[in-house]
């Protein structure tokens, strides 16, 4: 019953590795439905919650930081069906409320175990929890640019304009990495890239995605073995 948190640089292959690990261990991937359950437990029943994670967080501008604004960051919707009618409810979620829901969902997922949590501050929220493996995925910038360029090309085949894919890739990498770093710094006062937050820091410039996934699986099995041994009576 272990939990794996994965922090990743954008374009490092961290998401792909997370899915591989979940498949290999038959673990669940943390998703918005777990956040929805946390919302229901908090009294926000029948609500669809926007997942407030690094992936949709943006670095705050100067004026926002200066005035420490906490404007609503998402709208939640609930549909109540009645005979011959459907009502749409709206509710604004403050940044603080949305963050608490994510934290509660992460903690609940950990309590159930056998889950892979990508991003969302899991490495800090669960920093001192037992049976948890914290992993960081990195890669050289050029490797990440190549990977993101390929993603952009695939999007272009679906109708996106092909405009300087290298520049697009580098811009995306810089924006997403800055957002992730700012998210962890702002809400947890931690350094996103600090290796001391993690059990393992894997470089996919040196390892294939499959090799990285295998190393994580091996570490988890060792963690589970030690946990079982500790639980046995002397």
User: Any idea what the CATH number is for the domain that residue 110 is in?
Assistant: 3.40.50.300
Average pLDDT for residues 88-117, to the nearest whole number?
78
- Map 9-39 to HEC letters: CCCCCHHHHHHHHHHHHCCEECCHHHHHHHH
| Burial readout 194-229 (b: 16 or more C-beta within 10 A, e: otherwise) | eeebbbeebebeebebeebbbbbbebbeebbeeeee
Residue 233 lies in a domain: no
Residue-range definition of the domain harbouring residue 154: 3-227
Residue 234 lies in a domain: no
pLDDT tens digits, one per residue of 60-83 = 454 444 444 454 544 444 444 445
The total domain count for the chain is 1
232 within domain boundaries = no
What are the pLDDT digits (tens) for 184-223?
998 899 999 999 999 999 999 999 999 999 999 999 998 8
Residue 76 lies in a domain: yes
Mean pLDDT of the residues in the chain: 78
Q: Is the pLDDT of residue 89 over 50?
A: no
* Sign of torsion over alpha carbons 120, 208, 26, 129: negative
């Amino acid at each position: 019953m272990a939990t794996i948190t994965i922090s990743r640089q954008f374009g490092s292959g961290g998401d792909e590795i997370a899915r591989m690990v979940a498949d290999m261990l038959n673990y669940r991937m943390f998703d918005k439905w777990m956040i929805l359950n946390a919302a229901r437990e908090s009294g926000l029943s029948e609500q669809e919650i926007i997942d407030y994670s690094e992936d949709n967080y943006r670095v705050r501008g100067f004026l926002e930081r200066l005035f420490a604004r906490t404007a609503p960051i998402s709208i939640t919707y609930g549909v109540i069906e009645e005979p011959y009618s459907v009502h749409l409810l709206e509710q604004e979620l403050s940044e603080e409320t949305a963050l608490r829901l994510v934290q509660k969902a992460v903690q609940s997922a950990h309590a159930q175990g056998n889950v892979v949590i990508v991003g969302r501050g899991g490495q800090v929220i669960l920093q001192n929890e037992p049976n948890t493996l914290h992993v960081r995925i990195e890669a050289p910038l050029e490797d990440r640019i190549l990977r993101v360029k390929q993603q952009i090309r695939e999007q272009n085949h679906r109708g996106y304009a092909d405009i300087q894919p290298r520049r697009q890739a580098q811009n995306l990498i810089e924006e997403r990495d800055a957002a992730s770093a700012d998210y962890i710094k702002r809400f947890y006062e931690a350094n996103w890239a600090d290796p001391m937050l993690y059990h393992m820091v894997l470089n996919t410039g040196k390892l294939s995605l499959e090799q990285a996934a295998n190393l994580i699986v091996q570490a988890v099995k060792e963690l589970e073995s030690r946990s079982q041994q500790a639980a046995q009576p002397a």
